[in-house]
Amino acid sequence: MKTIDEMLNLDLLTHEQHGAISAWIARSASPDDILQMPAPLWQAVERASEVMGVNEDLLRVPALDAGGVMEV
């Protein structure tokens, strides 16, 4: 939900889109339910994700020197 809120704050989603997406997520019992979101809402999320670079962040190889984040 934080990402959806950020998309709204960056004006990448309208208030109507944000409300509809948030409601869909809230009433979804599983990730599969979320995947059934109507195409126009998915398209809005995909456009906003592209502008924010979400896909690139998810595909980036994690740094092995993450400042003590990963203790061995």
pLDDT in tens, 2-25: 889 999 999 999 999 999 999 999
- Domain boundaries, given as residue ranges, for the chain: 2-53
Reported pTM: 0.74
Q: Identify the pLDDT of residue 44.
A: 96
| Average pLDDT of every residue of the chain | 87
Tokens read off for 20: 């509809």
Q: What number is the average pLDDT over the span 31-58?
A: 90
| pLDDT at 72 > cutoff 60 | no
Query: CA 4, CA 25: separation in Å to the nearest integer?
Result: 10
What's the half-sphere exposure (Cβ side, CA atoms, 13 Å) at 15? 0
